[in-house]
Amino acid sequence: MSGAEQGVIGSLSGAVPTGPSPDMSAAERRTARIVLATLFVVYFLSSVDRSIFGILAQPVKEELLLQDWQIGFLSGVAFSAVQLVFGFPMARFTDKGSRVGILSVCVALWSVLTALCGLATSFVQLSLYRMGVGVGEASCMPASHSLISDYFPRSDRVKALALYGLGFPIGSFVGIIIGGIVQDHWGWRAAFYVLGVPGLFVALLTWKVIKEPPRGRYDIGAEVDPAFADPRPFSEVALMLWRSPVLRQMILGLTLLSLFDAPTATFLGPFLARKFPLSYTQLAFIMSMSMMLGASLSTYFGGIISQRLARRDERWLMWFTGVTTAMGAPLYCISLMQTEWLPLAIWMFLGALVNATFFAPCYTVLYNIVPPGGRAKALVIVGFFSGFLGLSVGPLLAGIANDVVSGILFGGYDPRGFVAACPGGHAAKGAAVALDLACRKAVGDATQMVLIVTMAATVWPCWHFFRAAKHMKTHSL
């Protein structure tokens, strides 16, 4: 094992290698900004394609006569689990091959499959298309984060990652609004076509604009040992993560936060449609101006604030994440208890404003500890836990809970039971109005209860973020 590698492994108890980062020339800084802008567009597009299902879930459910567990499956397992499984080979290719080439091809792939979702006529078909989107998007974050780490020195990575991270909430913001407008005018199928086709142009832009940079050129270890930036096997990267108490606790925190946040991301749109008599355009603006706008501001300013705090003491990267996450839980719960849409939107905005600060601080800690040749693999491993257990299992479990609680609330109103009497969450065409109202009230109240419980549970991850900070050494970035 090289001296530089021993230094990295030794630092895993909590801190990162210290010392000044190499300076960037003016030309390098301009190039880095252009690359960051392009990667932002890619992540923005990925978020648009991913988030559109949030506003379209209810009309899809009603047309295809789905249960909520199937909505949870389409949003979680069919997309996130597949994305994670293919993330492992994508990360291997990313750490060895052309990150720009891999990213460009995958952008084109997921864009085509997003458009194909509009052709689905059954749960199985839609599941397969969603799985295909997940395969394409598996390369997005590993390749992009690896490129950002090689275009920006460690002193600038927090802000760069925060700016890149804005692609998710802003993309969700735009995707939800476009999806709601298109749904009201042309239906949910047209929405998938509208948001899928532009990705082909983004794929070409990525290929033409971004050039493959030398790996690890801004990392101190690369100056000591040229092998510092060499590709690392999954087993070695996994061992690094396991041996680091900082990363162990941080991954636990991210996993639990994803598990409890994901149901709201999946079922907020259906919940609003079930509880408030508004058009999908109106619902889309409520979701976007509350949750997505708040999350966008939280992601950006959370990165800036945590970076400034970390200049005093690096442990603030985890302290800040824990404090803000704890503040968001009660605000979200108060929001979901409202009976009018305006106070709901205001409380939701406040909750999102403090709940999404984790992105830049957590990934900065990860990339400051893991050497360049293992960063894409580290991201996939972290994503496996936070994504599979959180983004995949979370919506599925919430959907199952919705169905179970809906059946309980529906009670004996109809001897056939909730599933038979309420296909797609509403009574069959031609049924009594009273039956339809009973169906809709049961599923709406059940969704509200499940979302309040899951958002209240987001206080749990905070303890793990504080534990991660406890293991970090006291020094500044």
Phi then psi for residue 29, to 5 deg, are -65, -40
Q: What pTM did the predictor assign?
A: 0.81
Structure tokens at 108: 């084109």
Distances, alpha carbon 176 to alpha carbons 109, 186, 284, 429, in Å:
21, 15, 6, 28
Q: Cα–Cα distance between 245 and 420 in angstroms, integer?
A: 50
User: What is the reported pLDDT for 37?
Assistant: 93
12 pLDDT above the threshold of 50: no
181 pLDDT above the threshold of 50: yes
389 pLDDT above the threshold of 80: no
User: What is the reported pLDDT for 357?
Assistant: 86
pLDDT band at 15 (very low <50, low <70, confident <90, very high): very low
User: What is the reported pLDDT for 453?
Assistant: 96
- 392 and 403 Cβ atoms separated by less than 8 Å: no
Which is nearest to 407 in space by CA: 442, 435, 432, 436?
442
Mean pLDDT: which of 34-38, 153-157, 233-237 is highest? Answer: 34-38
Least confident span in 34-38, 268-272, 334-338, 384-388: 384-388
Long-range contacts of 121-130 (CB under 8 A, 24+ apart): 121/64, 122/64, 123/64, 123/66, 123/70, 123/74, 126/60, 126/64, 126/74, 127/73, 127/74, 127/78, 130/53, 130/74, 130/78, 130/79, 130/82
**Mean pLDDT, to the nearest integer, of 374-399?**
83
- 144 and 103 Cβ atoms separated by less than 8 Å: yes
Q: Cα–Cα distance between 172 and 377 in angstroms, integer?
A: 26
pLDDT band at 231 (very low <50, low <70, confident <90, very high): low
91 pLDDT above the threshold of 90: no
pLDDT band at 369 (very low <50, low <70, confident <90, very high): confident
- 414 and 421 Cβ atoms separated by less than 8 Å: yes
Task: Provide the mean pLDDT of the chain.
Answer: 85
User: What is the reported pLDDT for 472?
Assistant: 83
Task: Burial-class residue 411 by CB neighbours within 10 Å (0-12, 13-18, 19+).
Answer: exposed
Alpha-helix residue ranges (DSSP H) falling in 138-233: 140-151, 154-165, 167-186, 188-196, 199-209, 220-224
259 pLDDT above the threshold of 70: yes
pLDDT band at 371 (very low <50, low <70, confident <90, very high): confident
379 pLDDT above the threshold of 90: no
pLDDT in tens, 50-66: 888 889 999 999 999 99
44 pLDDT above the threshold of 50: yes
Alpha-helix residue ranges (DSSP H) falling in 388-428: 393-410, 418-421
Phi then psi for residue 429, to 5 deg, are -60, 130
User: What is the reported pLDDT for 13?
Assistant: 37
User: What is the reported pLDDT for 222?
Assistant: 47
Alpha-helix residue ranges (DSSP H) falling in 187-292: 188-196, 199-209, 220-224, 234-243, 245-275, 280-287
pLDDT band at 475 (very low <50, low <70, confident <90, very high): very low
Architecture label for domain 27-209+232-470: Up-down Bundle (1.20)
**End-to-end alpha carbon distance in the chain:** 27
User: What is the reported pLDDT for 19?
Assistant: 46
Least confident span in 105-114, 156-165, 194-203, 427-436: 156-165
